[in-house]
Structure 1
């Protein structure tokens, strides 16, 4: 299901935020600007609430915070689950499925081509849960890299975002690539309904690390 074109989203948002001192086209930074010196984007709760679309803050490789709006929602042909597609002004894309980043497009330097897992796996329901996945990424066209993963809860806390406040469980995930002798550590902030509202995810060892905080959740 395609919600609306990204160009149309930007047009609507520019009108809604016309009273701000900074244009939305500047606020919603391009990925390249964010990676090479653009300052953190910070919007007020009123500004975000006025936008009629789901939205998130992202950080890439510990760079400045950028604001991205959900542009498309499509069903995965493999898992049947909804995939949320977040776009930047320069058409870079971050794709999430159940809060997990499964693909990136047009990011400078490195991109995750995809993560393949068993669609029946329940990563955030069982303590000390072990499972496996297949990673594909660029550069160097590395495909079919198998990982052995372990996921477990580490603590609970109340997280206060701009538009919501919830008790969340932080799950820590160890992703080990035996063939590369490398382990990555990810964290997911999960609410009582199993929705991921915040995350820090390594997608390519030493090359691609993305943080997300959901501001206005997608409600379907």
Structure 2
């Protein structure tokens, strides 16, 4: 399938699913995201000069890939990969997938997600929602509690960024349709300590899925651009 055909199919999919928001399709430079190199990465110049945002994704033991932000609708960001997989994030959290073995179909109560206002998280903070999966698992109740750790840093483009680490402790409250040996797991979110922007996360959608590491590399480049020091340009 050619790049233009793929983009046309993607646009058609969203048209059929009722997307009515503002779409941003950047066909001219999307090829930067569609790399087949192991542990794909982009230079600082490639990230900052692109007309759209990039996302690094590491899924289980697979090499790091690059996804491009193709659509934005009602606060949901829709990221597309070279192999036509799609992640939909809301406030940085994965709320839907397309093209995976067992797709996440829906997450309820996303507007009450504590990571939206992570500065207000306390020991008493909790969040309960229902999730649906394409393998026939619907209405699973998932509960989360949180902890916050300061004094951490991440390094990108030869520069350190001070971050706050938010750990999410998740558990299934509903009985599973299939045999499960682990009902508990963790997610981690790293926020810029100054601006509060989400820079990176490690999200495991359920005990039976492999963890995904999401690096919001375009957001990272914007945060680094605010710093007065000169930036080096090697790829991450």
TM-score normalized by structure 2? Answer: 0.72
Structure with the bigger percentage of helix: 2
- Judged with a 3 Å threshold, the aligned counterparts in structure 2 of structure 1 residues 65 and 121 are, in CA distance, closer, same or farther, namely closer
Paired residues, what number? Answer: 190
Alignment correspondent of 1:97: 90
Within the candidate set 103, 109, 117, 2:109 is matched to 117
Conservation of the 8 A alpha-carbon contact between 2:140 and 2:172: yes
Alignment correspondent of 2:216: 214
Larger of the two Rg values belongs to structure:
2
1:62-73 correspondence to structure 2 within 5 Å: 62-73=61-72
Within the candidate set 136, 140, 147, 1:145 is matched to 140
TM-score normalized by structure 1? Answer: 0.76
Alignment correspondent of 1:3: 23
Is the aligned partner of 1:58 residue 2:63?
A: no
Q: How far does residue 146 in structure 1 lie from its aligned partner after superposition?
A: 0.2
Is the aligned partner of 1:134 residue 2:134?
A: no
Q: Distance in 2 between matches of 1:193 and 1:137?
A: 34
Q: Distance in 2 between matches of 1:66 and 1:121?
A: 27
Alignment correspondent of 2:232: none
Q: How far does residue 163 in structure 1 lie from its aligned partner after superposition?
A: 9.1
CA deviation string 1:30-52 (max 9, x = no partner): xxxxxxxx621122212222212
Is the aligned partner of 1:159 residue 2:160?
A: no
Conservation of the 8 A alpha-carbon contact between 1:99 and 1:195: no
Q: How far does residue 193 in structure 1 lie from its aligned partner after superposition?
A: 3.8
CA RMSD after TM alignment:
2.4
Q: How far does residue 158 in structure 1 lie from its aligned partner after superposition?
A: 2.3
Is the aligned partner of 1:186 residue 2:206?
A: no
Q: How far does residue 199 in structure 1 lie from its aligned partner after superposition?
A: 0.3
Q: How far does residue 154 in structure 1 lie from its aligned partner after superposition?
A: 2.8
Conservation of the 8 A alpha-carbon contact between 2:191 and 2:200: yes
Give the gaps of 5 or more residues in structure 2.
1-20, 177-181, 223-236
Structure with the bigger percentage of strand: 1
